[in-house]
């Protein structure tokens, strides 16, 4: 393996005052802009562009900021959606529990709002909390998306309807009927990177670790593999980065990617911010993990990875009888 693509991402959430006090997101637009710029600046020290998945309300409020970031080489053509956070609160649901009709309606309304901010339509998608069902990819293709980062292999979070046990770990075209599998849809999906040698179980989204557990046994816990997200409270980024790179070398995918995600709710301009410190450690560790093995880490965007997936021939495995 000569190179690994590094795709830094952020889910850009609307203000918590408009959604829920315990939801992810910033308190003010000024904070949001500071966090977004700080994140790009840290990633930029390693030459990695950022791919921003943007909630519709943010596209309206901060389009000028993202157009500027777009000019600097970041990828901003991505829609992020938590249906329950959207507009008037009509959808009391996480993305994976929407009916097909509501999925089409919520996406249509979101695309329209996003488009009213940017003057063009989003091309890539990520559901909030990686919440998804088997209709998602087909609906996304129908609605004009060419790709996305829609899966977190290994995540088991029943309450959020985010179950990804056994999901394909590397960039691929998804299956039209079964979200975990490789298929032939005209859509480039980039899964979140995972260290498959590890498990962690936490209470909800604030990462309060449950010691000694290896699986999610009730609705209030989330189980997942360790990964590169900077939000962890107790992650060994050196070990996780090296494990993920070793596993990539072993799987040897045609498009090797290291990717992670976070939200616009931590101050990446503050050297003392807990999550920003983790982010800087993670960037160094993934870079070192590649270079120490003679592998070049190459900054890439969601759009770059999607282009690579769609340029490849369809790799849907043939039917096997038993
Ligand atoms: Zn989100």
CA of 236 to the centre of ligand 1 (A): 24
> What per-residue confidence (pLDDT) applies to 212?
62
State the pLDDT at residue 207. 61
* 93, 83 contact by CB (below 8 A): yes
pLDDT at 55: 97
- Dist. CA 322–CA 169, nearest whole Å: 23
CB-side neighbour CA atoms (13 Å) of 268: 27
Looking at residue 322, what is its pLDDT?
Answer: 87
- Tally Cβ neighbours within 10 Å of residue 301: 25
In this prediction, residue 18 carries a pLDDT of 86
Parts of the chain with a pLDDT under 50? none
* CA 126 to ligand 1 centroid distance, Å: 8
- pLDDT score for 21: 79
pLDDT of residue 17: 87
CA of 248 to the centre of ligand 1 (A): 27
Of 29, 58, 50, give the one whose Cα is nearest residue 116. 58
Instruction: Say whether 226 sits in a helix, a strand or coil.
Output: strand
pLDDT the model gives residue 208: 65
pLDDT score for 126:
98
pTM of the model: 0.96
CA of residue 47 to ligand 1 center, whole Å: 25
Half-sphere exposure (CA, 13 Å, Cβ side) for 66?
Answer: 29
Ligand 1 centroid to residue 288 C-alpha, Å: 29
Please give the distance, rounded to the nearest whole angstrom, from the Cα atom of residue 143 to the centre of ligand 1: 20
User: pLDDT by residue (tens digit) across 272-318?
Assistant: 999 999 999 999 999 999 999 999 999 999 999 999 999 999 999 99
Span from the CA of 166 to the centroid of ligand 1 (angstroms): 23
Distance 137 CA to ligand 1 centre (A): 18
Q: What is the pLDDT of residue 46?
A: 98
Beta strands in 55-129, from DSSP E residues, in sequence order: 75-81, 124-127
Report the Cα 151 to chain-centroid distance in Å.
7
Query: How far does residue 139's CA lie from ligand 1's centre (Å)?
Result: 20
CA 256–ligand 1 middle distance (angstroms)? 25
For the segment(s) 3-311, the CATH number from 3.40.50.620, 3.40.50.1220, 2.60.40.10, 3.20.20.370 is 3.20.20.370
Q: Ligand 1 centroid vs 225 CA: distance in angstroms?
A: 19
What is the rounded CA–CA span in Å between residue 138 and residue 134? 8
**Residue 25 Ramachandran class (φ > 0 left, ψ -120 to 50 alpha, else beta):** left
Q: What pLDDT, on a 0 to 100 scale, did the predictor assign at position 218?
A: 65
Contact assessment for residue 1 and residue 254, using Cβ atoms and an 8 Å cutoff: no
CA of 320 to the centre of ligand 1 (A): 38
Q: How far apart are CA 52 and CA 34, in angstroms?
A: 14
Distance 55 CA to ligand 1 centre (A): 8
Residues near 48 by beta carbon (within 8 Å), at least 6 away in sequence: 6, 7, 8, 283, 297, 299
* Nearest alpha-carbon partner for 265 in 252, 274, 255: 274
Would you state the pLDDT for residue 215? 65
The alpha carbon of 229 and the centre of ligand 1 are apart by a number of angstroms equal to 13
């Amino acid at each position: 393996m000569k190179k690994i693509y590094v795709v830094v991402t952020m889910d850009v959430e609307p203000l918590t005052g408009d959604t829920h006090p315990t939801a992810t997101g910033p308190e003010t637009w000024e904070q949001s802009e500071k966090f977004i710029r700080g994140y790009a600046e840290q990633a930029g020290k390693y030459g990695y562009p950022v791919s921003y998945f943007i909630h519709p309300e943010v596209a309206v409020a901060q389009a000028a900021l993202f157009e500027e970031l777009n000019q600097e080489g970041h990828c901003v053509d991505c829609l992020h959606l938590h249906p329950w956070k959207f507009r008037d609160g009509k959808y009391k649901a996480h993305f994976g529990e929407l009916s097909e009709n509501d999925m089409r309606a919520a996406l249509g309304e979101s695309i329209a709002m996003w488009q009213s901010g940017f003057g063009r339509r989003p091309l890539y998608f990520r559901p909030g909390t990686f919440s998804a069902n088997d209709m998602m990819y087909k609906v996304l293709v129908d609605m004009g998306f060419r790709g996305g980062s829609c899966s977190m292999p290994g995540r088991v979070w029943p309450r959020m309807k985010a179950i990804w046990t056994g999901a394909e770990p590397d960039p691929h075209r998804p299956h039209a009927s079964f979200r975990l599998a490789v298929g032939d849809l005209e859509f480039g999906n980039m899964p979140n990177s995972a260290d498959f040698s590890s498990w962690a179980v936490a209470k909800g989204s604030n990462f309060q670790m449950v010691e000694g557990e290896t699986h999610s046994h009730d609705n209030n816990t989330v189980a997942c593999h360790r990964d590169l997200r900077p939000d962890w409270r107790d992650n060994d980024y050196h070990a996780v980065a090296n494990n993920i790179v070793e596993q990539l070398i072993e799987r040897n995918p045609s498009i090797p990617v290291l990717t992670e995600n976070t939200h616009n709710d931590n101050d990446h301009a503050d050297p003392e911010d807990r999550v920003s410190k983790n982010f800087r450690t993670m960037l160094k560790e993934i870079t070192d993990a590649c270079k120490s093995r003679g592998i070049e880490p190459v900054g890439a965007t969601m759009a770059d990875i999607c282009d690579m997936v769609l340029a490849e021939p369809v790799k849907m495995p043939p039917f096997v009888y038993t």
